[in-house]
Amino acid sequence: MKSLITVIGLTLASTVAMAADSAATNAYVGNADQGKAKSAVCAGCHGADGNSAAADYPKLAGQHASYLESSLKAYRDGSRANAIMAGFAGALSDEDIADLAAYFSTQATSAGAVEADLVVRGEQLYRFGDSEKGVSACAACHGPTGAGVASAVFPSLKGQWAGYTEVQLKAFRDGLRVNAMMNGVAKNMSDADIKAVASYVGGLQ
């Protein structure tokens, strides 16, 4: 009986593995060269290499392809609201999205800077959180250097415009942007907390 159960278990495991391999084989892998050609329309806001000129628009350079794909698809299907991005993303195919994500993910992020008077509080929140306020440490998901985790679709934060990060954290806190994990992290953050940690991650390299 045990041997039969073992055989069944091995067969199921093998079937699942084969299905996963098949899905991976059939999945389209983004082409960075094609993405560069398609990125001209993005350059007006995000810069030719994904390093935008102002905090009104996020830097895309060096961001994980997995996160960029997820974000573009969310804009396309309306689950993430932004009138400008909805218009652009609505015309993109899955291949277009994968190509653009591949291109921007291979570009180097331009260096940012942290405001000196915000370093202490920003680092505390980022690395350790604030247990008294119920704020989790950002580093738990985004890593000690702010690089994020591609496989978990946790975005890279390092070098991002502080102003952009500040706006997004307030949107998470106020429920204007929906993500259960981030809504929970940001809900107890004051404006000063958000400003400090946004400045801190902007200076990470």
Q: Residue 7's pLDDT band (boundaries 50, 70, 90)?
A: very low
**Topology of the domain comprising 32-105:** Cytochrome Bc1 Complex; Chain D, domain 2 (1.10.760)
DSSP 109: P
Nearest to 157 by CA among 64, 42, 44: 64
**What is the pLDDT at residue 27?**
76
77 has pLDDT over 80: yes
Q: What is the DSSP string of 4-36?
A: HHHHHHHHHHHHHHHHHHHHHHHSPPP-HHHHH
Q: Strand, helix or coil at 128?
A: helix
101 has pLDDT over 70: yes
pLDDT tens-digit readout, 172-197: 999 999 999 999 999 999 999 999 99
For the chain, how many helices (H) and strands (E)?
11, 0
pLDDT tens-digit readout, 23-75: 444 578 999 999 999 999 999 999 999 999 999 999 999 999 999 999 999 99
Mean per-residue pLDDT, 62-91: 97
Q: What is the mean pLDDT of the chain?
A: 90
Treating both helix axes as pointing N-terminal to C-terminal, what angle do 94-105 and 65-77 enclose, rounded to 10 degrees?
Answer: 140
Q: Considering the entire predicted model, what is its pTM?
A: 0.85
CA distance 13 to 4: 14
10 has pLDDT over 60: no
15 has pLDDT over 60: no
Share of the chain above pLDDT 90, in %: 86
11 has pLDDT over 60: no
**What is the pLDDT at residue 18?**
43
What letters, b where the CB count within 10 A reaches 16 and e where it falls short, cover 47-57? bebbbbeebeb
132 has pLDDT over 60: yes
Q: Residue 79's pLDDT band (boundaries 50, 70, 90)?
A: very high
Q: Strand, helix or coil at 69?
A: helix
* Domain 32-105 matches domain 116-202 at the CATH topology level: yes
Domains of the chain, residue spans: 1-26, 32-105, 116-202
**What is the pLDDT at residue 16?**
39
Tell me how far CA of residue 71 lies from CA of 11, 64, 67, 81, 113, in angstroms: 37, 11, 6, 10, 25
Are the beta carbons of 147 and 156 closer than 8 angstroms? yes
Are the beta carbons of 38 and 102 closer than 8 angstroms? no
Are the beta carbons of 203 and 120 closer than 8 angstroms? no
**Topology of the domain comprising 116-202:** Cytochrome Bc1 Complex; Chain D, domain 2 (1.10.760)
153 has pLDDT over 50: yes
